[in-house]
Structure 1
Amino acid sequence: MKTTLIIGAGGVSRVVVHKCVQNADIFGKIVLASRTLKRCQDIRDELPNAAIEVASVDADSTDEVIKLINSCNPSIVINVALPYQDLAIMDACIATKTPYLDTANY
């Protein structure tokens, strides 16, 4: 089964998660991660019938993002975190050879 890792749990993330769930045949299971687990849980709770797991990650830490990627083995990482976290997430994706989609540029 495909897995999509979405990093960030703000307003943009909420929209991205809803759209990915609507297209579950493409995006598969979703792992939603942010520093604040409660925000991830709130988004997950809006979609009770969807395959969404939540995780806590410090997106400033490339090593933490690498650990998360290795634990959930996503087909793609969608970055909807803060713009200053782009490089740490991108570096983790390069290190793990995971496709990366960035929506949070300066």
Structure 2
Amino acid sequence: MSSARIVWTDKARRDLRQIVRYLRRYSPQVAEEIGKQVTAATRRLGEFPLSGRAVPELPDSGLPEVIVGNYRVIYEPTENDTVEILSVLHSRRLIPPTRRLRG
């Protein structure tokens, strides 16, 4: 079985950049480590796209998430062997409505 292609939305890229930028003010090492952990988790989704759990706040959306430390990576596996990374956010933040997650 081949790996799914990972595609980051602009929103997800912005989310991760903002998280790393915020953390860097307090600890550059922690910021770098979180960035690496999130990136590694999304790469694993290429091999195991169905490994996440359903987003509890959006049960009817069909969107899964993986937890990386204190962060949630919300994504959407597609039928054409692609995993689209939709958002990365702190676990204490509210989930935006589905329409805003998907673009």
User: What range is the shorter-chain TM-score in?
Assistant: 0.3 to 0.5
The structure richer in strand per residue is: 2
| Structure possessing the higher relative contact order (Cα contacts under 8 Å, 6 or more residues apart) | 2
Larger radius of gyration: 2
Q: Structure 2-normalised TM-score?
A: 0.36
Q: Structure 1-normalised TM-score?
A: 0.35
The structure richer in helix per residue is: 1
